[in-house]
Amino acid sequence: MLDSRTIQVIKSTIPLLESAGPALTTHFYERMFKHNPELKDVFNLAHQHSGGQPVALFNAVAAYAKNIENLAVLSSTVERIAQKHTVFLIKPEQYAIVGSHLLATLKELGGDTVTEEVLEAWAQAYGFLANIFIQREAQIYQAHAEQDGGWLGERQFVISAKNTESAVITSFILTPEDGKPVKDFIPGQYLSLKLTHPNLAYEEIRQYSLSDAPNGTSYRISVKRELGGQVSNLLHDAIQVGDKIAVMPPAGDFTLEVAADTPVVLISAGVGQTPMKSMLNQLLKLQHPSTITWLHACEQGAVHGFKQAIHAKRQQHRNLTSHVWYREPAPTDTLGEDYDFEGQMELSKVAELLPPYARYYFCGPIGFMSAIKQQLLALGVAAENMHYEVFGPHADL
């Protein structure tokens, strides 16, 4: 444990952190990539360019300083980050690199206010936190390796099928090259791919939510073509059936955990439906006895993925209800057939399907999820019954 003096010094630096803001972590990443360019093969550079990763790291650093006396409140954050670290194959020795650049950044931006005592306190605090991550990640790596069908590190998979789901979403079926079983996962988790290609300046690692129930033999991911997205466009255009790709074991802390007698509501927008699809298929596979409600929003029919699949499942399972919102329906979209409501998703239109004691899982753009959370709160749903996933660097709603 950290001693009282170290804790006091760390807390005294909170005003410095807040005044620096994300500029602190932006400087940190620039410094680290300059001195350790090999880490560009590990980090998602798109999140660096967008500013999302520096903001996420700053929020994490600030939260650590503010909760230094009660780290238990950060347990969910630690688990989420540790899960993400394992799919990037983070090694214990890399924590020393990160720590050295973090301390150097504090010194370079803090000037005379960052004394040797401050640097020593942060060195101890960082080392303490790094050890927590190293131990938890070792447990996750070991669990991946020991589980039936599991593995450690990279494993070669073959693209065995490539299916168009909408104008912007394509599904990929990944089958292990060695023909052996694959480990089960908890619906809501993601798969991590490592891509090397002449079109890419560096190795790129990306995470994509698994979009089907576990089957022990293969995985399915469903990828949206992002405007300007290097990797998503590469997958859509260049990666074909028969191609091989390196895959890390499934991970993630956004997981379906619900009692048999509890209603489940799955809410999504756009490609945010991919983890919802995995959850839905698992619930139906296990014959979940309580009600299941599927609520989805998208622009219009052309980008509405899995439309026919949901219609078919609704006909097969009496406890499944679905409603769809199109923000701007196309002339070819039919109300009551392709979609149920026009405009932004308004939960008040289906309030009778949303009991406060149900479990709510939602995924989509940040603005969408923030709006959904506020609507659910207004309907009397407790925050602890809500679970959500942010694609990319984490952000609070």
126 as an active site residue: the answer is: no
**207 in a known ligand binding site:** yes
389 as an active site residue: the answer is: no
- DSSP type of residue 194: E
Phi then psi for residue 47, to 5 deg, are: -75, -25
**392 in a known ligand binding site:** yes
**8 in a known ligand binding site:** no
**209 in a known ligand binding site:** yes
**250 in a known ligand binding site:** no
- DSSP type of residue 113: G
Residue 216 CB coordination number (10 Å):
10
**271 in a known ligand binding site:** yes
Give dist(CA 63, CA 73) in Å, integer.
10
**264 in a known ligand binding site:** no
Q: Which residues contact 342 (CB under 8 A, 6 or more apart)?
A: 325, 326, 327, 328, 329, 335
- Run of H or E including 204: strand 204-209
Q: Regarding beta strands 219-224 and 386-389, do their DSSP bridges make them parallel or antiparallel, or are they unpaired? A: unpaired
Residues in the chain: 397
Which residue shows structure tokens 């991970």? Answer: 251
Q: Which residues in 253-385 belong to E strands, given as ranges?
A: 264-269, 292-298, 320-326, 341-342, 359-363
Give dist(CA 350, CA 86) in Å, integer.
39
Give dist(CA 119, CA 211) in Å, integer.
45
**Per annotation, catalytic residue among 137, 165, 204, 389:** 137
**Per annotation, catalytic residue among 29, 95, 141, 361:** 95
**273 in a known ligand binding site:** yes
Phi then psi for residue 297, to 5 deg, are: -130, 140
Q: Which residues contact 49 (CB under 8 A, 6 or more apart)?
A: none
C-alpha pair distances (Å), 200 with each of 160, 186, 217: 23, 31, 30
Q: How far is CA 93 from the centre of its chain?
A: 25
**356 in a known ligand binding site:** no
| CB burial readout 135-173, b (16+ within 10 A) else e | ebbeebbeebeeeeebbeeebebbbeebeebbebbbbbb
**361 in a known ligand binding site:** no
Residues belonging to the binding site for heme b are: 85
Residues belonging to the binding site for NADP(+) are: 270-275
Residues belonging to the binding site are: 85, 190, 206-209, 270-275, 390-393
Residues belonging to the active site? 95, 137
Residues belonging to the binding site for FAD are: 190, 206-209, 390-393
